[in-house]
């Protein structure tokens, strides 16, 4: 008979509880009772709150500032990544400026211009400027840094053209430098130099051909310089006025001051600036600078301010090119709105002069552009004229207020390009409320364009999307529009226009009317048979999105995607796997934004989502690129919308989950999400279904699917965790064969992990702890050939094989934690039978051989643990567990003494635990003579 072990397990592991609220069980099973879980949650919440408080106290000690770092050290730290133009990056390398006005088109972080107009129901200039910049930005600014360098090297390689190279970045950089120089010169009170700089800026703008596609972009940069000059001058005159008035004991000038209130020296100063201006002979240069200075007339000649505004408006007709004249008119209307918004005379003047200038017949020029530059020119012209229209229409409420404007729009025989631009600009520039109330008149001027109505009608649909229809116009708008949309012959134009008005219909009309549109679109797509052409894919995807993106009722979205017409339209789109994947991506993105988690339970809608996830994934390989990760993230978000627990037919639900697993393949993020979904569903079945054979059989089906899916997870650590979780599911369903199979797999995975990668022990330690915690509830020995503790013995063999190597990791602390958890597991096996099995089962719990085997393993584990206890940290946690798990007797005195000696020098937080251990021993000594005698010999009493 084997010698009796000195390690006698305590009958109760919680004998030394000093604070019941903070006690955590040695072996915590994930399916433990709610009370224990709440204790653990409270403990860790308290721990995290302490850590958070310490971090906050550290942050309070740091210096903080309420201004931006002048050296740019903190610039952009709080913002996300943005695409910045190259000329901004180049400008950042220049010398430090004395001060700056945030008035550069290039600074996207600060979109507040020194010039802006903000009025009720009026689009601010800041927004209009951004729209013009978006359309007119040179191609080079849309290129990556590598492509820019390649283009420049290619151009520089041609020695003949070396001296004539003039790049977009160089010109825009020049405007930015001029603006910086203007600010610097003004700061050192060099007025002459400042005036020369603003003249140079206007000259540089004049040197750029108006017919070039970069002209509108450079115009924006040029007027930034001119606007800055005008603001600096106005602010200086105002400051000098207030300074002189304050010396005389007067208050500062009010916002609506009169000429009589301005001191004489300031009047003379303002007049001198206009005398300097009169020396400029070149009309365009003088025009731009005088417009920026026009507000300074308020200091000496306010009575003639409106007359001068109209004079400047007339000067616009002297510009040669049509595009430059449009932007000159935009310039004067900006300042006219800034100075006197109610005076619409200058706006009408520039509009009349522009429309009455010689016109060219369009000859379908707007529909069949000869080049991209012509299309950009037209788009920029529409944006510019729409600003003028907005100024003209400011304060207008009835049709009579804008009779001349609508009269110009109806002059369409023959159609000229200016009329077409004006009609498009009217749609862009009229206030939303006016467009909504007078929709009949607006549609009338659009349809008066005859066969050229398509593009303006599309623009109107996009404008109407943000305004609810007037009740009396609802039927008229829908009927009138769709009769004409169906007549559009060009396929791409039809799809684009249809998408704009479909968004409007889905947002403000009923599902029945949307269904009719679906049928109309399907018939047209089949007739044209152009859905497989690559150039049409992007437009068709936008059309699909229009049916889903703006539904007022979420249930309508589900009804649409499950309708036969919509499914057939989606099936028509795509000429290859990638285009089909792009369509699926757009649909899933809309679903993810529209619905929240676990809100879709319609079986047809769920099948549609799963199918779109499948087609999205087909275009990507099994790789770890950022694009693939984004696609998998979208798939997981989309699948999480499905509420699997809401299905009444459980077989149908499990079929959907299995289909998800099959369709997503081995994509890891999607696979993990599906496994977690299946775990949640299995637990839901356990909670809600009535106990019986049907429940047990169904849970075993779920567990079997989990067992088939988990091995496909590539991360071994996650694979072990999920397999352990599956063992817990087996415990709930009493599925013993699968429990044994999963246990064997866990050991195989741990063995695989023990030979791979650095810091293996730190990774394996918590996994072994989880497995042992679950294993303590599992019956062992399904047959007589497999002894008890067989799984534990295999784990111990893995640890012993790597003992020497793992003992070097983190001073052996992770390895010591493994041995301590093994002790806890063995003590649990020594004390109780976790499961009471039937007598017919061949179990080894409770017999003498089992107990001897447990005692032998305890001795082996303690020997390994003590070999690591030279470190103070390991010595403290070893002593703590030895005292907690085993009965104290005379033969353990030397062991306790040795551990106490090795605990000297332990960290402060462990020193408190050591004091608590000694105090618990003293408490036990009060009623146990053996313990008291040991403590006396150790001088602890």
Candidates 857, 860, 859, 903; CA nearest to 878 is 903
State the pLDDT at residue 48. 63
Q: How much is the pLDDT for 46?
A: 64
Distance CA 558, CA 547 (A): 11
DSSP count for the chain of H helices, then E strands: 41, 0
Among candidates 720, 792, 784, 724, which has minimal Cα distance to 752?
Answer: 720
Domain containing 215 equals 123-152+166-343
Q: pLDDT per residue over 164-204, tens digit each?
A: 444 555 788 899 899 999 999 999 999 999 999 999 999 99
Confidence class for position 769, pLDDT limits 50, 70, 90: very high
CB distance 326 to 219 below 8 Å: no
Q: How confident is the model at residue 153 (pLDDT cuts 50, 70, 90)?
A: low
Please answer whether residues 747 and 791 qualify as being in contact, where contact means their C-beta atoms are separated by less than 8 angstroms: yes
Residue 128 in any domain: the answer is yes
pLDDT of 40 reads 55
Residue 669 · residue 629 · CB < 8 Å: yes
| Residue 159 confidence (pLDDT) | 43
Confidence class of residue 426 from pLDDT cuts 50, 70 and 90? very high
Give residue 567's pLDDT.
93
Position 134 pLDDT exceeds 80: yes
Q: Are 652 and 642 in contact (CB under 8 A)?
A: no
When pLDDT is averaged across residues 725-745 and rounded to a whole number, the result is: 91
- Looking at the domain assignment, is residue 279 inside a domain? yes
State mean pLDDT over 230-244. 93
Name the least confident of 133-137, 335-339, 676-680: 133-137
Instruction: Give the total number of structural domains in the chain.
Output: 1
Residue 754 pLDDT exceeds 90: no
Residue 351 lies in a domain: no
Strand (E) or helix (H) holding 348: helix 345-356
Say which residues have a Cβ less than 8 Å from residue 694's Cβ, sequence separation at least 6. none
Over pLDDT 70: what percentage of the chain?
A: 80
Query: pLDDT-based confidence at 415, cuts 50/70/90?
Result: confident
Residue 431, C-beta contacts closer than 8 angstroms, at least 6 positions apart: 121, 122, 390, 393, 394, 396
Determine the average pLDDT of the residues in 837-848. 46
Give the mean model confidence (pLDDT) for residues 551-556.
Answer: 86
Q: What does 276-333 look like in DSSP terms, one character per residue?
A: HHHT---HHHHHHHHHHHGGGGGGT-GGGHHHHHHHHHHHGGG-SSHHHHHHHHHHHH
Under DSSP, the state recorded for 843 is -
Residue 139: what pLDDT?
A: 59
Between 397 and 566, whose confidence is greater? 566
3-state secondary structure of 416: strand
CA distance 486 to 499: 12
In a domain, 187, yes or no: yes
Query: Does position 76 have pLDDT exceeding 80, yes or no?
Result: no
For residue 322, is it within any domain?
yes
pLDDT score, position 937: 85
Which of 166-175, 189-198, 365-374, 619-628 has the largest mean confidence?
189-198
Predicted confidence at residue 883, as pLDDT, reads: 87
**Owner of token pair 């499948």:** 614
Where residue 606 falls among pLDDT bands split at 50, 70, 90?
very high
Residue 734 lies in a domain: no
> Mean pLDDT over residues 119-142, rounded?
81
pTM of the model: 0.76
pLDDT in tens, 887-904: 888 888 888 888 888 888
Ranking 464-468, 622-626, 670-674, 743-747 by mean pLDDT, the lowest is: 622-626
Q: What does DSSP assign to residue 402?
A: G
User: What's the chain's Rg over C-alpha atoms?
Assistant: 40
Among the residue ranges 66-70, 343-347, 665-669, the one predicted with the least confidence is 66-70
Query: Tens digit of pLDDT for each residue in 5-64?
Result: 778 787 744 434 445 454 444 444 544 455 555 655 665 566 567 666 666 665 554 444
The answer to which of 98-102, 506-510, 846-850 has the lowest mean pLDDT is 98-102
Vertex 288: Cα angle to 284 and 291 (nearest 5): 135
The answer to the question of residue 583 being in a domain is: no
Residue 9 dihedral angles phi and psi, to the nearest 5°: -70, 135
For 886, phi then psi, to 5°, come to -120, 150
Per-residue confidence band for 410, with pLDDT thresholds at 50, 70 and 90: confident
Contact present, 384 and 326 (Cβ < 8 Å): yes
Rounded CA-CA distance 608/567 in Å is: 9
Band of pLDDT at residue 905, cut at 50, 70 and 90: confident
Name the nearest CA neighbour of 215 among 322, 366, 347: 322
């Amino acid at each position: 008979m084997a010698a009796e072990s000195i390690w006698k397990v305590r009958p109760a592991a919680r004998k030394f509880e000093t604070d019941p609220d903070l006690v955590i069980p040695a072996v915590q099973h994930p399916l433990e009772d709610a009370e224990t879980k709440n204790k653990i949650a409270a403990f860790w919440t308290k721990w995290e709150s302490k850590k958070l408080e310490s971090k906050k106290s550290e942050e309070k000690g740091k210096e903080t500032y309420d201004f931006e770092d002048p050296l740019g050290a903190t610039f952009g730290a709080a913002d996300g990544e943005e695409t910045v133009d190259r000329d901004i990056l180049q400008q950042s390398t220049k010398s430090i400026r004395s001060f700056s006005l945030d008035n550069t088109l290039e600074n996207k972080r600060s979109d507040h211009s020194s010039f802006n107009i903000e009025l009720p129901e009026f689009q601010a200039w800041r927004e209009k400027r951004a729209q013009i910049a978006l359309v007119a930005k040179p191609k080079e600014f849309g290129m990556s840094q590598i492509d820019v360098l390649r283009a420049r090297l290619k151009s520089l390689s041609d020695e003949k053209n070396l001296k004539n190279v003039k790049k977009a970045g160089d010109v825009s950089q020049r405007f930015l430098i001029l603006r910086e120089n203007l600010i610097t010169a003004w700061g050192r009170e060099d007025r002459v130099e400042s005036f020369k700089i603003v003249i140079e800026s206007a000259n540089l703008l004049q040197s750029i051909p108006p017919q070039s596609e970069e002209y509108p972009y450079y115009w924006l940069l040029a007027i930034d310089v001119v606007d800055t000059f005008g603001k600096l001058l106005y602010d200086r005159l105002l400051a000098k006025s207030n300074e002189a008035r304050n010396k005389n004991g007067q208050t500062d000038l009010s916002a609506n001051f009169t000429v009589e209130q301005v001191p004489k020296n300031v009047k003379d100063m303002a007049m001198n600036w206009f005398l300097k201006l009169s020396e400029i002979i070149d009309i365009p240069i003088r025009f731009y600078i005088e417009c920026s200075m026009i507000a300074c007339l308020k200091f000496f000649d306010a009575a003639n301010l409106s007359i001068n505004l109209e004079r400047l408006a007339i000067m616009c007709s002297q510009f040669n090119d049509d595009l430059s004249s449009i932007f000159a008119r935009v310039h004067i209307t900006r300042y006219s709105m800034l100075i006197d918004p109610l005076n619409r005379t200058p706006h009408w003047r520039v509009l009349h002069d522009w429309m009455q200038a010689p016109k060219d017949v369009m000859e379908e020029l707007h529909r069949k552009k000869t080049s991209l530059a012509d299309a950009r020119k037209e788009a920029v012209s529409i944006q510019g004229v729409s600003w003028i229209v907005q100024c003209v229409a400011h304060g207008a409420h009835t049709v009579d207020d804008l009779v001349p404007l609508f009269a110009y729009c109806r002059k369409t025989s023959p159609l000229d390009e200016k009329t077409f631009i004006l009609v498009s600009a009217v749609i862009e520039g009229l206030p939303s409320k006016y467009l909504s109330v007078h929709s009949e008149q607006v549609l009338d001027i659009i349809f008066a364009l005859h066969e050229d109505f398509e593009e303006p009608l599309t623009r109107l649909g996009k404008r109407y999307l943000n305004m609810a229809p007037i009740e009396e116009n609802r039927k008229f708008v829908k009927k009138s529009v769709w009769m004409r949309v169906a007549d559009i012959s060009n396929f791409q134009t039809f799809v684009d226009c249809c998408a704009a008005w479909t968004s409007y219909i889905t947002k403000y009309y009923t599902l029945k009317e949307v269904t009719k549109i679906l049928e109309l679109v399907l018939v047209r797509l089949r007739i044209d048979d152009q859905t497989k052409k690559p150039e049409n894919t992007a437009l068709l995807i936008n059309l699909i999105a229009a049916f889903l993106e703006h539904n007022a009722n979420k249930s309508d979205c589900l009804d649409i995607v499950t309708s036969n017409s919509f499914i057939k339209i989606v099936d028509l789109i795509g000429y290859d796997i990638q285009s089909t994947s792009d369509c699926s991506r757009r649909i899933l993105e809309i679903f993810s934004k529209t619905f929240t988690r676990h809100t879709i339970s319609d079986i047809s809608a769920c099948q549609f989502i799963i199918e779109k996830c499948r087609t999205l994934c087909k275009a990507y390989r099994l790789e770890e690129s950022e694009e693939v990760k984004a696609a998998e993230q979208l798939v997981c978000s989309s699948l999480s919308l499905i509420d699997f627990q809401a299905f009444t037919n459980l077989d149908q639900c499990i079929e959907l989950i299995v289909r998800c697993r099959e369709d997503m393949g081995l994509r890891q993020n999607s696979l993990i999400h599906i496994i977690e979904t299946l775990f949640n569903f299995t637990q839901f079945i356990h909670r809600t279904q009535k106990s019986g054979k049907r429940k047990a059989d169904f849970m075993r089906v779920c567990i079997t699917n989990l067992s088939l899916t988990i091995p496909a997870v590539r991360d071994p650590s996650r694979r072990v965790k999920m397999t352990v979780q599956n063992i817990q599911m087996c415990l709930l369903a009493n599925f013993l064969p699968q429990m044994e199979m999963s246990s064997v797999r866990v050991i195989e995975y741990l063995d695989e992990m023990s030979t791979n990668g650095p810091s293996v022990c730190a990774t394996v330690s918590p996994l072994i702890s989880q497995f042992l915690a679950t294993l303590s509830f599992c019956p062992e020995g399904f047959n007589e050939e497999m002894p008890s503790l067989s799984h534990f013995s295999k784990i111990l063999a893995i640890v012993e094989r790597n003992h020497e190597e793992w003992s070097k990791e983190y001073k052996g602390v992770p390895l010591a934690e493994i041995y301590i958890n093994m002790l806890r597991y063995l003590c649990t096996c020594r004390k109780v039978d976790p499961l009471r099995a039937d007598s017919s089962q061949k179990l080894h719990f409770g017999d003498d051989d089992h107990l001897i085997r447990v005692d032998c393993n305890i001795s082996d584990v303690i020997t390994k643990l003590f070999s690591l206890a030279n470190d103070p940290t390991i010595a403290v946690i070893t002593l703590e567990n030895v005292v907690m798990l085993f009965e104290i007797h005379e033969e353990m005195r030397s062991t306790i003494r040795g551990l106490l000696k090795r605990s000297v020098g332990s960290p402060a937080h462990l020193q408190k635990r050591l004091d608590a251990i000694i105090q618990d021993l003293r408490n036990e000594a009060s009623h146990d003579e053996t313990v008291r005698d040991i403590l006396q010999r150790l001088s602890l009493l």
